[in-house]
Every structure is written in C-alpha cells, then in structure tokens.
Structure 1
Amino acid sequence: MDNYSQMLAFIWATEHGNFSAAARSNGLTPSAISKLITRLEDRLQTRLFQRGTRNLTLTEEGAAYLVSAREVVNAMAEADSLAEAFPTRVSGTLRIHTMTTFAKHQILPWLPEFLATYPALSVDIQVGPQYIDQFEQGLDIAIHSGVLPDSSRIARKVGESAWVICASPEYIERCGRPNHPQDLVNHDCFNFSFKSAWNNWEFEIDNHKTLIPVSAKACFAQGDLLRQMALSGAGIVKLAQFHIGADIRKGRLIPLLEEYALDEKEPIYMVYSNRKHLSPRIRVFRDFLETKIAEQPWAI
C-alpha cells in the first residue's frame, strides 16, 4: 500500500507544482509528501523531480513514470468502482436485449423498483423474438429462451418455462374442446410468423413424442399478438408459461390437451460476454432478476 501512496504523492506533486500545495489539497503535511516521494525515488533509484526554490520540474524519467503511475491509479479507481459492496456507485446505461413478452410480463412489473434502488443507472431495453449477438455493439445482457448458438459468451440459466396449448373460454364454448391432439387440425390455430421450434406442436402420444402438423389460420411476429388473438376468442395458441401464466390463473385462458403435454420445460438464459470482468450494473441486474423470479415463480 505504501507504493500506492508514493505514486499518489508523486501525481499530486506533479499536478500542484510543489509539495506544499499538494499537501494542503490532500490533507497532509509538506514533509509527509516529501518523504513519500523520497522513498519512491529511492525505490526506483532515479530522480523524478528537479527541485527548485518554489516549483518542481519533472525529469525525463519522472515524465515517463508519470504516464505509468496514472495508469495504475486509474486502474485502482476502476477496481474500486466494481466493488459489490457499494451499490450507490452503480451507474451508466445497462443495455438489454430480450423477448418482447419477457420484457412486458417479467421485467416491466419490477423495473421501477430496480431503477429506484439504483438511481444513477439507466436502462435501455431492446426487444425481439430471437437471440442476436450484439455485444460488440455495446450490449450488456441478452435474455432469451431455448437453444442458444455455440459461442464464447457466458449463458446463466435464470429459469425455465413450459409451453402451453390454450384457448379462451369463449372459443371453447363456441367451437368445443379438442380431446386429442389430432383434433387440432379441425380448429383455428395461430402461430409465429418466423422459423422457430416454437411453431412445433408436439405431444406425448402412446409414449412417443409426436409432432402434429397444425395449419395456422394466421401468423404473427410477436407472442403478445398471439395472446390477444386467443383472449379475443379467435382460436388456439401455443405460448410460454411465463407469458400467459397470469391469464390461466385468472381463467382468461384455459389449458388444453394437458394429458398429452410433454414433460419438458424450456430454459431461459441470461447471456453476457465475460464472466471475469462483470460490471456492477450487470451484476445488480442479474441478482435483482433472480430474486424476482424466486419470489414469483412462473408455474401455473
């Protein structure tokens, strides 16, 4: 630690031009500053200043050492800012990419509390149905479900969610309830408009995983549009549990064909670029997210 104090005294003396001003500015005595710099010169075995009657002048060696000393002090300051014990230092902009439905139903409800906890932090949330690696463009976190592409990124599982076949009570009353997965071919169903495993309607039939070729009456790029179609009584949809769990609990949507449902849940990951140098803003968001998931599980 004495080496660090010596570097600080050297930088202060350089910035103020003499020992007395450097001492006054930092709550020390001129003799204390002088002793620290003398120890530094003795340790380095070189003279860093030409000492005049009133001012100090850097030697060639002193000018070169100043560059390195400032880099060390700046690195120490950055390390201090990463300390988890000082949440008030969490600042800057946290850039997140996630699924629209996850942002709306699982982040927005508690985001005001998070922002109030870290008032110096701002959040930029970008949404899209599929995972895109944008870390080289400044992205901090991606939150997505399913199978992620192989990469050097760090993927931390934050939860899992089943997929649910469902419809509104109005649709079931009007069109009847399908009793077997094959019955879906005679019902109005809706799907995603992009290529995705989410469009595969698979069931457990006679102890075999079976894909039912559902013909979609309409397709949509966002899960919330599928949800609105189902809520309006237009037809049957397949959506994530974290998305429609509240609708099912309140009876707005009714699960269908549960006896044929696969005993599978899709993992949901928080992806970031580097585990070793995790910034405070990423760390506090991760911890907040996992706490909220634990408090409000997605299970219906």
Structure 2
Amino acid sequence: MDNYSQMLAFIWATEHGNFSAAARANGLTPSAISKLITRLEDRLQVRLFQRGTRTLTLTEEGSAYLVSARAVIHAMAEADSLAEAFPGRVSGALRIHTMTTFAKHQILPWLPEFLARYPGLTVDVQVGPQYVDLFDQGLDVAIHSGGLPDSSRIARKIGESAWVTCASPDYLARKGTPAQPQDLLNHDCFNFGFHSAWNTWQFRAGTGDAEAGIVTLPIAPKAVFAQGDLLREMALSGAGIVKLAQFHIGEDIRQGRLVPLLSDFNLPGKEPIYLIYSNRKHLSPRIRVFRDFLEDKLKEHPWE
C-alpha cells in the first residue's frame, strides 16, 4: 500500500508542479508528499525530480517512471472496475465533472431516478466551466462541450448544442428587437467573466448570400459573470441580452420566457458535447450504466 501511495504522490507532484500545490489538492501536507517521494526515490535508488525553489522538473529517470506509474494506477482502477462486474452488481462512487449549467439542467432532473435504479452507487458531481483532465485523481466521467485537447481519453459525442442570442419579451418590449447584428452594440448585453470562445459574438454578415462573410461584434458587456446560470437570470429578469447554449435555455425558449434573436444571421454548425472517460480496455459498469442512462434521457428530452 505504501508503494501505491508513493506513486500517487509522485503523479500528483508532477501534475501540480510542486509539493505544496499537490498537497493542497489532495488533503495532505507538503511534508507528507515530500516524505512519500523521498521514500520512493530511496527505494528506486534514482532521483526523480530536480528540485527548484518553487517548481519541480522531472529527471530523465523521472519521465520514464511517470509512464509506468500511470500505467500501474490505471491497471489498479481497472481491477477495481472488474470487481464490480459480477452479475447484478453496480456499486461504488461515480465521480463526474461537468459544466455547472449541464449539471443543473441535464443531470439533476434525472439523477433521483438514476440513484433509485442503482442503489449501490453514490455520485460525486464536480463542476467547472472548462474541461480539466482529472482522471489520474480518480475522476470517472467528464461531460464538456467544444474542442478538446489531444489525449488518450475516450470522447463519445452525446449531442450538440447551438449558441443562442436571446432576451426576455419584457426587455424587447422596452428596448426594441435588434434587426441586424450591429444593433446589439446599442443594447445592454452580458457575458462570461472568464476568457472563453463563448464570449465571441459572431454572425453572418448577411442573410441572403450563402457566401456572406462573418462579422465579429466588439460587445462591451454591462456586467460579466462566472456562471451561465447567472447570465440566464439576468436575461429572465429583463435586464438585457445574453448568448447561451441551447441545452441550457431550450426550455425557456419553448415556454416563451426567452426569445431567440437574429436567427437569420446565425452561423451554421453547432457545438459538440462529449462524454469523456479514461482509455480503459474494460469500461467500469458504473460508467457504462451512467452513459447509457444519460443518452436515453437526452433522446427522450431533446433541448431543441
């Protein structure tokens, strides 16, 4: 067990760049991480890191050992998943990372039914606006949209979602409906508060010409927010115009609470949404049943 802890500490220190950050992320002290790695180096009789003042750099031996250590951790996780595969047994903790809005609008409505169907499972839902590879820290599944970095992970497309420029009927009654993209520059708009392609408001330059170019608007938001749900609340309150994902506001549009704008100027194509899991030969039953359950629910309740 100590060898396993040493390997985990080594992988964490590599991912976080120093002992302090690795310790904070995993509920340990820097001295505990340091001791585990020192024992590992003593056992292997090699130096794995060049230790700087604030950062760690892998030695050649450390780089080689990292590949093997990750393979061992993945093999142990696979062994655990095989132990779950006895007939009728789906159990353990399912760890999910996804966007806050996807968790709220596409997972939480069906989660009670899922938990009732698989009473041996517990679920840990972690949220964040952008994809982060946390599989070496015990993550089972990630659900994110847009482009993904190249990696050995499995990315299964479970849907696609347009980005919709919209406002409430109350706001449009007070301020008027924009007829062309440039009109947005004279409206109250809101955006995300972090760097993201989602903050780029692009439209076709014209509606009649299939070869029309693209216009990118220099939106100056009245306020910015860290979460899409806060943008949604601003729009629903009649404060102004937002651009949000269809999976997030599809029900608001169906119910007439929000009105799509400038649809004739929308660019073709939609943003893919992926379910991501580690590249394992044998997929854990808890991941498989969640994947199948979620895909069934998305088919039954499309957000368009």
TM-score of the superposed pair, with normalisation by structure 1: 0.72
CA distance in 1, matches of 2:80, 2:125: 29
CA distance in 1, matches of 2:153, 2:191: 30
- 1:118 aligns with 118
Is 1:273 matched up with 2:284?
no
Is 1:209 matched up with 2:214?
yes
Q: Match for 1:259 among 258, 264, 267?
A: 264
Percent identity over the alignment? Answer: 71
- 2:295 aligns with 290
Amino acid at match of 1:82: A
SS of 1:89's partner is coil
Contact in 1 for aligned 2:82/2:282 (Cα 8 Å): no
Amino acid at match of 1:137: Q
CA distance in 2, matches of 1:266, 1:235: 24
Larger Rg: 1 or 2?
1
Q: Deviations over 1:244-274 (max 9, x none)?
A: 0000000000000011011210000011112
Cα gap change, 1:107 to 1:178, in 2 (>3 Å): same
> Once the 2 structures are TM-superposed, how far is the Cα of residue 158 of structure 1 from its aligned partner?
0.5
CA RMSD of aligned residues (A): 1.6
Cα gap change, 1:232 to 1:273, in 2 (>3 Å): same
Q: Which ranges in structure 1 are unaligned for 5 or more consecutive residues?
A: 1-74
CA distance in 1, matches of 2:80, 2:273: 35
Cα gap change, 1:178 to 1:275, in 2 (>3 Å): same
Amino acid at match of 1:254: V
CA distance in 1, matches of 2:144, 2:288: 18
> Once the 2 structures are TM-superposed, how far is the Cα of residue 277 of structure 1 from its aligned partner?
2.1
Q: Which ranges in structure 2 are unaligned for 5 or more consecutive residues?
A: 1-77, 207-211
Is 1:82 matched up with 2:85?
yes
Amino acid at match of 1:156: R
SS of 1:112's partner is helix
Contact in 1 for aligned 2:190/2:242 (Cα 8 Å): yes
CA distance in 2, matches of 1:77, 1:158: 26
- 1:12 aligns with none
CA distance in 2, matches of 1:241, 1:122: 29
Is 1:96 matched up with 2:99?
no
> Once the 2 structures are TM-superposed, how far is the Cα of residue 165 of structure 1 from its aligned partner?
0.2
Amino acid at match of 1:181: P
Amino acid at match of 1:107: I
> Once the 2 structures are TM-superposed, how far is the Cα of residue 76 of structure 1 from its aligned partner?
9.8
Cα gap change, 1:161 to 1:284, in 2 (>3 Å): same
Q: Match for 2:238 among 233, 237, 246?
A: 233
Identify which range, 231-240 or 209-218, moves more after superposition.
209-218
CA distance in 2, matches of 1:159, 1:277: 24
